[in-house]
Amino acid sequence: MDYGHSERPSGAAALPTAIKILVAGGFGVGKTTMVGAVSETRPLRTEEVLTESGVGIDDLSGVEAKQTTTVAMDFGRITISDDLVLYLFGTPGQDRFWFVWDELSLGAIGAVVLADTRRLADCFPSIDYFEERGTPFLVAVNCFEGARQYRLDEVQAALNLDPEVPVLLCDARSRSSAKEVLITLVEHAMKIRDARHRVD
């Protein structure tokens, strides 16, 4: 088999392209804060209009406005170079908007799952979702004041995580902390990508 043909020609990477990383986790855990801390502008907000059943609208004729609902997504941009732009998307917290989660996670290179040790169970749905989809992710414990400090291995055990999944502490308000989380995630995603590529 000739693998050469599946490789993009060198130089193709110079065409502008975009990649995305998701920031997920429970309600109020600091997703938007983290997106804002590390992005080049304050978080932008965009909306999708969905039908009440949570699916996207294909045909607006016959759809009354009251049968629709909007779901908001916060996101930020980091321009890596002239030809590479990284977008960070905070996932909408409401679990019923799986349609939007599916759209967001499609092609995402990885996800940050933010956790608050006072409400650790809030991040279970995010973890289940990314495990199921095979999206590389890590868990970043956002250190709110007054929260009891858990050891990282305690968090890892409580979340029943694969030992390969990085778990780290962070402060979602801090640019350097958010940066470190993202670098750890991309390194992790690169490892997974390289391992999968070798198997293929």
Partner 1 sequence: MTLQGESAEHQWVDDHAGPVVRPYAVTGGRARPVTGTFDLISLVTATRKDVSPEIGLGPEHLAIVGLCQRMQSVAEIAAHLDLPVGTVRVLLGDLMARSLVQIREPQSTVGIPDHSIFEAVINGLRAL
Q: How far is the CB of 77 from partner 1 (least distance, A)?
A: 7
Q: Where are the alpha helices (DSSP H) in the chain?
A: 31-38, 98-105, 124-133, 152-158, 175-199
**Angle (deg, nearest 10), helices 31-38 and 175-199:** 90
DSSP 3-state assignment of 199? helix
Q: Does 186 help bind partner 1 (rule: CB under 8 A)?
A: yes
> Does residue 149 contact residue 60 with C-beta atoms inside 8 Å?
no
Span near ligand GTP by CB under 6 A; candidates 48-56, 75-83, 100-108, 166-174: 166-174
Q: Does 49 help bind partner 1 (rule: CB under 8 A)?
A: yes
Residues 45 and 193: their CA atoms lie apart, in Å, by: 30
Count of positions (residues) in the chain: 200
Q: Does 135 help bind ligand GTP (rule: CB under 6 A)?
A: no
The angle formed by the CA atoms of residues 98, 180 and 35, to the nearest 5 degrees, is 40
Cβ neighbours of 144 (radius 10 Å): 13
Nearer to ligand GTP, 168 or 192 (CB): 168
> Does residue 113 contact residue 137 with C-beta atoms inside 8 Å?
yes
Q: Does 27 help bind ligand GTP (rule: CB under 6 A)?
A: yes
Nearer to partner 1, 53 or 70 (CB): 70
Nearer to partner 1, 61 or 160 (CB): 61
Q: Does 93 help bind ligand GTP (rule: CB under 6 A)?
A: yes
Span near partner 1 by CB under 8 A; candidates 23-31, 79-87, 91-99, 139-147: 79-87
Q: How far is the CB of 20 from Mg ion (least distance, A)?
A: 16
Number of residues that bind ligand GTP (CB under 6 A): 16
Residues that bind ligand GTP (CB under 6 A): 27-33, 90, 93, 142-145, 171-173
